[in-house]
Amino acid sequence: MTVSILRTDPPPTLPAKQRIQQAFDRAAATYDAAADVQREVCDQLAFYLDQSGIAHDPAAIVDAGCGTGYEVFWLRQRWPRAQLTLIDFAPSMLAAARTHDAEAALICADIEALPLMDASFDVYWSSLAWQWNDPICCLAEAGRVLKSGGVLAVATLGTDNFPELRQAFAEVDEYHHVLAIAPPERLLAECQTGSWRLCVWQRQPVRRYYPDLRTLLRAVKAVGAREVEQRRPTPLSRGAWQAITARYERLRQSAGLPLSYDVVWLIATKTD
């Protein structure tokens, strides 16, 4: 097995945000073919929002961290008259999103610092983007750009993400091989004590199975969710990879090698 599956460009000396941005920029071409988990999470977010019955007839919707724009079809079908703004910090992702909607406004920006006016949107949508950022900062920005009574619809990840990978790499080295994510309990507490009325809070694993470790790691790489934290300055040895593979094989189930996403869905309304 080659180490390039987990190693990424640009080199680890770049700031984390820039590494993440470039990783997703490079993944745009392979993202849709590999993003079945991301589509499932997005579909579930749409279901929760639809079932909540709180998004009446919004005039303006912002999709923060739109990626390739899979959710655009549902948003347009649900609210065809709404003005739609798509935001992502990876230019190639935005270019892919344009193919889903020629009328939407596209902005290349960091969702922790949205270049949007205060109280200018009725719905803030974000699916699997907050985990790459500071969720509390994202929540504050969502509150800033939403009108009073505006709707927040977010899917993000919890701390128990990719536990199988963490277990397989345990004791191999001191480096992080999966993204370190802030505890979602902080986000829940902020919603409960801030200017929000919580409507939906759901947390559950979404799991996929793969025939072998190489295929699993390629699937992770194809959606841009590759290693972005502290990384090894040198490749792992063949022996280390054999140990990692053997450790992961102990987790094998009848469907294959498992990989679990710890998914959190949040629907809330702004109260002030």
Give the integer Cα–Cα distance in Å for 260 and 263: 9
The b-or-e profile of 238-265 (16+ CB within 10 A means b, else e) is eeebebbeebbeeeeeeeebbbbbbbbb
What letter does residue 103 receive in the DSSP assignment? S
Write the Ramachandran bin of 107: left for phi over 0, alpha for psi from -120 to 50, otherwise beta: beta
pLDDT of residue 171: 67
Domains in the chain, CATH or no CATH each: 3-270 (3.40.50.150)
Give the torsion sign (CA, 157, 185, 65, 77): positive
Concatenating the DSSP letter of every residue in 158-189 gives: -S--SHHHHHHHTTT-SS--S-----HHHHHH
> Could you read off the pLDDT tens digit of each residue along the chain, which spans 272 residues?
322 223 333 344 456 777 778 777 877 777 777 789 999 999 999 999 999 989 789 999 999 999 999 999 999 999 999 999 999 999 999 999 998 888 999 999 999 999 999 999 999 999 999 998 999 999 999 999 999 999 999 999 999 888 998 888 876 766 555 667 788 999 999 998 889 999 999 999 999 999 999 999 888 888 766 544 445 556 778 888 899 999 999 999 999 999 999 999 999 999 98
pLDDT tens-place string over residues 150-159: 999 999 999 9
> What are 15's two structure tokens?
């700031």
Measure CA 106 to chain center: 19
The b-or-e profile of 15-39 (16+ CB within 10 A means b, else e) is eeeebbbbbbbbbbeebbebbebbe
| Peptide bond preceding 10 in cis form (omega within 30 of 0) | yes
Give the torsion sign (CA, 35, 41, 47, 49): negative
pLDDT tens-place string over residues 29-53: 777 777 899 999 999 999 999 999 8
> What are 209's two structure tokens?
């199975």
Predicted TM-score (pTM) above 0.85 = yes
Scanning the structure block, which residue is given the tokens 């979602």? 184
Max distance between CA atoms of the chain, in angstroms, equals 59
For the chain, the first-to-last Cα distance in angstroms comes to: 54
Write the Ramachandran bin of 192: left for phi over 0, alpha for psi from -120 to 50, otherwise beta: alpha
Residues 99, 69: contact at Cβ < 8 Å?
A: yes
Residues 6+ apart with CB under 8 A from 157: 128, 131, 179, 181, 261, 262, 263, 264
pLDDT of residue 136: 94
